[in-house]
Chains A and B, each alone.
Chain A
């Protein structure tokens, strides 16, 4: 049996899915968190049944790629658990009635039940159940309340003969039902509402946005640097270095195996950034340089996601984003891209048109550096002074803006207007927020760590086979002539295809000047996507548009790198 979890966006489908199946998926307080379906299993009457977390949809007539996925899934389910936001009954009933009209076996979870009380909403569940003709059970996704009962009533869901209704009739019907089952008591303005309103009004909203972004940045730096300075750096230099030095001695301080495991000795000793062995740089870069920033970035992002601030930021930035051929909500994929480009590009599915998805994907893969690369920029470029880090960020931001302006000009079509539901502010449900952070860290370790090690291994083997000498000479006019980098830097560009953090690390041993490092960082950030991004671009855009995006990427990377080289 296959059970689909469906419902409007942001009603708690993913929270309930994680609870049912133990498969953790991302849940956040804004519509459009889930853009693909996820499968999991749970026990029902002693049997294993499949449960699917479906992207949110307002109706069964899709208006975005994410909604298309949802409607597509409907054909493949045996039973639907329609999750309904109890604080928003009327609008949520639209989808519920569409499901019931189609004769789909449906059970309704009246979720976010906990919030109805303090918002002055009273729903007569029994009457609602009678009027709809399907089981209705109040639930609280974040605590699990009501989910057992929900499951005990699944067998009451039966396939029925479809009936046809016009949209108009359906809304009439919904109006009647809500009128009969729901009583609203008026509440005075709460602090929450005051805050909500302040953050979308221009005069108060803009300062709030600046404060939020400034604090986010400060906290990310503070936690990232703190973890490195007080935990990881001491661990690697005090505990790990003596051990690995012994191994180096044991391996005879040189030779093939030594080069692969420990790497080159720099001034007679191991240098975690420059030695480039599997057990030195291969572990130090991902664990001591990147991981702390992954942790601090996703902690802050998770809090922003779960409070419900992001859609408000989208409102403030709508005007700007329209100039780039997008609307305000496209800021969410871009922000996700600052963690890792892959989920960023995936989440462009919340945008309505193909044109927007192309522009947003191109902007993310070219102008938005992922957290791993940013951590390396802080670590390597930052050593030469904060102003150089600012140069990298400033350039990338300008590129992001200009590229958007240009794409908006040259691509046919226009950007659709913003139309979004702005969720209420909520305190992050800490357990869920921490779990989400943990999940993201695990997925970094699982997906990135092997690739970093592979990158280091490949570099060593290719050096050994002297492939790079050939390549470096071949591309010298480009790398040296245009970018002003030593010809060996081409190796970093090639490895950038595997991992950008390793690639930037490879610029370390080349003894670059601060200016050259700025050029190198910018070109690495902009140029060819890493393999994971490459695959997701191909999947989301199709071959032709992916090649187009990649073309733009390479041309603009060399153009901007060349200009930087001239003016710095």
Chain B
């Protein structure tokens, strides 16, 4: 079963595929420039507590994303 959740709800070490970015043009562009766009596989590395940034691995790179932004990135995970 595939399920769609925000990036923030991925468990540590879990991977998902980016489905949609629920943000304006500017945010989508910033994210895609740094390598996050629909279709890409991301693996969660860690998350700071108290709604801190989420760190993901994508390809060979680690990227840190502020909580608000991360919660608007929707990924698909296989259960």
Give residues in A with beta carbon < 8 Å to B: 58-59, 61, 63, 87-88, 90-91, 94, 119, 121, 167, 171, 175, 196-197, 200-202, 205, 311, 314-316, 318-319, 327-328, 417-424
Q: What residues of chain B lie closer than 8 Å to A328, measured between beta carbons?
A: 53, 64
A422 to B46, CA, bound (A): 13
Quick check: B35 and A318 within 8 Å, CB to CB? no
Q: A417-B69, A419-B31 are in contact. Are A91 and B61 (CB under 8 A)?
A: yes
Q: A201-B46, A319-B50 are in contact. Are A90 and B62 (CB under 8 A)?
A: no
Interchain residue pairs with CB less than 8 A apart (12): A58-B33, A63-B29, A91-B59, A196-B62, A200-B46, A318-B52, A318-B53, A319-B50, A319-B52, A419-B65, A421-B34, A422-B64
Quick check: A417 and B60 within 8 Å, CB to CB? no
Q: Which residue in B26, B29, B45, B48 is a CB contact (below 8 Å) of A319?
A: B48
Most chain A Cβ neighbours within 10 Å, of B29, B35, B51: B35
Quick check: B59 and A88 within 8 Å, CB to CB? yes
Q: What residues of chain B lie closer than 8 Å to A197, measured between beta carbons?
A: 45-46
Q: How big is chain B's contact interface, by range?
A: 20 to 34
Quick check: B46 and A417 within 8 Å, CB to CB? no
Quick check: B66 and A417 within 8 Å, CB to CB? yes
Q: Which residue in B31, B46, B64 is a CB contact (below 8 Å) of A418?
A: B64
Quick check: B34 and A419 within 8 Å, CB to CB? yes
A77 to B79, CA, bound (A): 52
Q: What residues of chain A lie closer than 8 Å to B55, measured between beta carbons?
A: 200, 315, 422
A94 to B34, CA, bound (A): 10
13 more CB-based (< 8 A) A-B contacts, given A318-B66, A419-B31, A422-B64: A88-B35, A91-B34, A91-B35, A94-B33, A202-B52, A205-B46, A311-B64, A316-B48, A316-B52, A318-B64, A327-B66, A417-B69, A418-B66
Closest chain B CB from A279 CB (angstroms): 52
Q: What residues of chain A lie closer than 8 Å to B64, measured between beta carbons?
A: 200, 311, 314-315, 318, 328, 418-420, 422
A148 to B67, CA, bound (A): 45
Does B63 belong to the interface (CB within 8 Å)? yes
Give the A-B contact count at a CB cut-off of 8 A.
101
Does B30 belong to the interface (CB within 8 Å)? yes
Closest chain A CB from B26 CB (angstroms): 8
Q: What residues of chain A lie closer than 8 Å to B69, measured between beta carbons?
A: 417-419
Closest chain A CB from B42 CB (angstroms): 13
A417 to B54, CA, bound (A): 11
A136 to B58, CA, bound (A): 24
Give residues in B with beta carbon < 8 Å to A: 12, 26, 29-35, 37, 39, 45-53, 55, 59-69
A94 to B66, CA, bound (A): 23
Closest chain B CB from A244 CB (angstroms): 55
A421 to B59, CA, bound (A): 12
A205 to B48, CA, bound (A): 9
A61 to B12, CA, bound (A): 33
Q: What residues of chain A lie closer than 8 Å to B61, measured between beta carbons?
A: 88, 91, 421-422
A424 to B60, CA, bound (A): 9
Closest chain B CB from A165 CB (angstroms): 14
A422 to B67, CA, bound (A): 16
Quick check: A422 and B33 within 8 Å, CB to CB? no
Closest chain B CB from A325 CB (angstroms): 14
A88 to B29, CA, bound (A): 18
Q: A59-B33, A167-B32, A200-B46 are in contact. Are A419 and B63 (CB under 8 A)?
A: yes
Closest chain A CB from B8 CB (angstroms): 12
Quick check: A421 and B63 within 8 Å, CB to CB? yes
Q: What residues of chain B lie closer than 8 Å to A91, measured between beta carbons?
A: 34-35, 59, 61
Q: What residues of chain B lie closer than 8 Å to A422, measured between beta carbons?
A: 55, 61-64
Quick check: B65 and A418 within 8 Å, CB to CB? yes
Quick check: B60 and A319 within 8 Å, CB to CB? no
Q: What residues of chain B lie closer than 8 Å to A171, measured between beta carbons?
A: 32, 37
Quick check: A315 and B53 within 8 Å, CB to CB? yes
Chain B's closest residue to A314 (CB) is B64
Closest chain A CB from B73 CB (angstroms): 11
A167 to B37, CA, bound (A): 12
A311 to B45, CA, bound (A): 15
Q: What residues of chain A lie closer than 8 Å to B68, measured between beta carbons?
A: 417
